[in-house]
Structure 1
Amino acid sequence: MSRLRTVLCGTRFGQTYLAALGGLPAEFELVGLLGNRGARSVSTAERAGVPLWTDVEDVPGDVDVACVVIRSSSMGGPGSELARALLSRGVHVLQEQPIHHVDLMESFKTAREHGVQYRMSNLYAQLPAVRTWAAAAREVIAQQCPVYLDAACAVQVSFPLLHVLGQALGSVRPWRFSVAGTSGPFSLVTGEIGGVPLTLRVQNEIAAEDPDNHMHLLTRATLGFEGGGLALHDAHGPVSWTPRLHIPHSVRGAFDFSAPDAVHLSGPCTAFLDETPPSYRHFLAEVLPSAIGRDLLALREAVLDPASASRPEPYHLALCRMWQDLTTELDYPKPLDAPGHRPMRVPGPGDA
């Protein structure tokens, strides 16, 4: 089983999974697509050079893994039912988030009954900038307790944001959410995550005809400490550390910046912990597939060596319950009649 025979279910966001599988040719062999007979599914299967199946029963018995990239029941789709049908046929499954916690429990149960692996995928937690931010957060938390969490996201990626915050804090319990009002396109949420006071802005709007666009941001977070703030500016970075300004007595009293108590003022006001953020083209074409690849490799490790594989089930169940609490508090997104895309060039000094 050096190469796991894999079927891809879904060809919308599944395009990114297709690129991820293409980047791991020694580990996975794409043997077919499972979907409808729509134009996108047909053309994707032709481009990939694999058959298109329209029913679970059509999937050959020698398939090892299925990537289910179809909306789950919590999003009004059949993804969770499809995942369990594949698990019942002895196929290991990687299913894209978000997933209702009841569906997640049922899928874990079905996987155990049939002796196969089932994982929830969340590429955001695998992004380089997110990993850098979360690792830095854990390093600072070992020295100081966080005193606030300030975050923002589009509602489409509210689940990934919660996952990202959980990675950084090491725990999501206890959590609490309360909508405090609205300001422009954002719903204002207060509460706590992992016991840390939270202020969260959610763009709770969706353009029904174009739900993947018109987001003012993806995921943004600042974890604050007595010593400063650690900021993830968006899913693609950058990550920065801004020390809290403290003006010592020597500066206030004598404007003496050479005094011992003013040494800390010589450091940068803001330090960046990662590389320059990528272009959106590179982010979509390279960074996202690579992040999915990390989830794929984790599933492969669990398939080949179940005894030593990590077991994220309790944490993922907690995330799904927390996301359900948040979306219930937010209520349904507002319909957005979005205008056409109007690209803007980066403003320069000469534009002032």
Structure 2
Amino acid sequence: MTMRAVVCGTRFGQVYLEAFRHPDNPVQLAGILSGGSDRSRACARHYDVPHYTSPDDIPDDVDIACVVIRGGLLGGQGADLALRLMVRGLHVLQEHPLHQDELAACLRQARRSGVVYHLNSFYVHVEPVRRFLAAVAELTRSQPIRYIDAACGFQLAYSLLDVLGQALGGVRPWAFADLPDAAQAYRATQLDVPFRSLDGVLGGVPVTLRVQNQMDPGDPDNYAHLMHRVTVGTEAGNLTLVSTHGPTVWAARPDFPRTVGETDAAPHFDAPASSGEEHLDLPSARVLGPAEAPGFRHVFGSVWSAGVARALGELVAAIEAGGGAAGRGQYHLTLCELWQDITARLGPPELLRADPPRFVLGDGLAAMARAAE
């Protein structure tokens, strides 16, 4: 029998609502729960479902609640709502992030109520990130990871840590040095310093994290210079997720031809490849999968909703298996602890008022690049 779900919240919740139109979504949309805003009522009309303003109004034939409301750290009541819904016997898929104490309370309530609770870090489910993680898994079958270089906007730090945890197979042990006060020198010259860097170890691997620790309080979800960028390095080369939505690029490690003899100091670049040097004729870098990332309209309308459909599929599979995914909950508790450690080291984001970006068309850049050939 098809399970039925309500979506709680209609800001980012609109992405979840659109996911119910995805052919791979195993769940039927049964309604919207919100505080009663005009936007939420309009969404209910658009998706032709009932609109509820209290958890007590949700019918008993609803199985799942998607809680897409901010947690306490971001000034919302998402965790409290999730607890109420689980007391009623609903399984919950909750959008990240949460404070570690909030997540622990939700996991305890899920056990008491006999329901399944999943915290959704979202981006590990979108196709370009999954493609990157699959490439990392294939690479690490023969090559241990030697280093990671990663960057994100501060709003995306938790999801970045989950991407890194998936790539590494976990995040323990970790240790990060305190943030150097290099920004003080920049402040003396009144320069804008968007990124803060932390060096440390994650999952036993050397890691550099660069976080744009800035926010426009009037529009907190916008004006990040980037979302996620990750490079996983091995002895053979490195895999880079250029941006959240791709592409993934493999770049071989530079390996210059050896000299022919002990007394021959001149490299023979034009000599035929000898045994063991066949790799010198391979591309030094190549794109894995589509060479272009999708446009943001397609991202918001299709790529993200497909990721939500996948997260819902995982929730349904756990429900049908009888729950019992204690390891998943413990993993996210660890991520919360790590995320709070890192954000404490970074300090509160710098508040600024940002102007809308002046967009540049890629076709013009490509034409200029061709002219330089």
TM beyond 0.5:
yes
Could you say if the C-alpha distance between residues 64 and 126 of structure 1 is closer, same or farther in structure 2, counting changes exceeding 3 Å?
Answer: same
Deviation at 1:151, TM superposition (A): 0.6
> CA separation of 1:280/1:26 partners in 2, compared to 1, >3 Å: closer, same or farther?
closer
Q: Does 1:312 align with 2:321?
A: no
Q: Is the 8 A contact 2:215 2:350 kept in 1?
A: yes
1:61 Cα shift?
Answer: 2.3
Distance 1:111 1:159, change over 3 A: same
Q: Secondary structure at the match of 2:179?
A: strand
Q: How far apart, CA to CA, are the structure 1 residues paired with 2:319 and 2:95?
A: 18
Give structure 1 regions of 4+ aligned residues with deviation exceeding 4 angstroms: 307-311
Q: CA deviation at 1:307?
A: 5.9
Paired position in structure 1 for 2:284: 269
Asked which structure has the greater CA Rg, the reply is: 2
Q: How many equivalent residue pairs? A: 351
- Which residue does 2:366 correspond to in 1? 348
Of the structure 1 ranges 188-197 and 172-181, higher mean CA displacement relative to structure 2 is found in 172-181
Give the drift of 1:85: 0.6
- Matched residue, 1:23: 22
Q: Does 1:330 align with 2:329?
A: no
Q: Secondary structure at the match of 1:160?
A: helix
Extract unaligned runs of 5+ from structure 2.
187-192, 261-265
Alpha-carbon separation, structure 2, partners of 1:244 and 1:205: 34
5 Å-filtered alignment, 1:47-66, equals 47-66=46-65
How far is the alpha carbon of 1:107 from its aligned partner? 0.7
The one-letter code of the counterpart of 2:299 is F
Q: Report how far residue 256 of structure 1 moved.
A: 4.1
Give the 3-state SS of the residue equivalent to 2:232 in structure 1. strand
| Distance of 1:25 and 1:135 partners within structure 2 | 20
- The one-letter code of the counterpart of 2:104 is M
Q: Is the 8 A contact 1:250 1:256 kept in 2?
A: no
TM-score (normalised: structure 2): 0.89
**8 A Cα contact 1:138 1:170, kept in partner:** no
2:205 corresponds to: 196
Change (3 A) 1:135 1:310: farther
Q: Is 1:303 equivalent to 2:319 in the alignment?
A: yes
Contact (CA 8 Å) 2:24, 2:310: kept in 1 or not?
A: no
CA deviation after TM superposition for structure 1 residue 31, in Å: 1.8
Deviation at 1:311, TM superposition (A): 4.8
Q: Is the 8 A contact 1:137 1:230 kept in 2?
A: yes
Q: Secondary structure at the match of 2:200?
A: strand
State the identity %. 41
Task: Tell me the secondary structure at the aligned position of residue 79 of structure 2.
Answer: helix
CA drift of 1:308 comes to 8.1
What one-letter code is carried by the residue in structure 2 that aligns with 1:135? A
Root mean square deviation of aligned Cα: 1.9
Is contact 1:3–1:26 with CA below 8 Å preserved after alignment?
Answer: no
TM normalised by structure 1 equals 0.94
Shift of 1:288: 0.5
Q: Which runs of 5+ in 1 are unaligned?
A: none
Shift of 1:215: 1.0
Check the 8 A contact 2:116/2:323 in 1, yes or no: no
- Distance between the aligned counterparts of 1:47 and 1:142, measured in 2? 47
Structure 1 window deviating more from structure 2 (183-192 vs 64-73): it is: 183-192
Query: What SS does the corresponding residue of 1:253 show, helix, strand or coil?
Result: coil
Counterpart-to-counterpart distance in 1, 2:326 and 2:76: 28
Give the Cα–Cα distance (whole angstroms) in 2 for the partners of residues 57 and 308 of structure 1.
27
The answer to whether the 8 Å contact 2:273/2:280 transfers is no
Q: Which residue of 2 aligns with 1:291?
A: 307
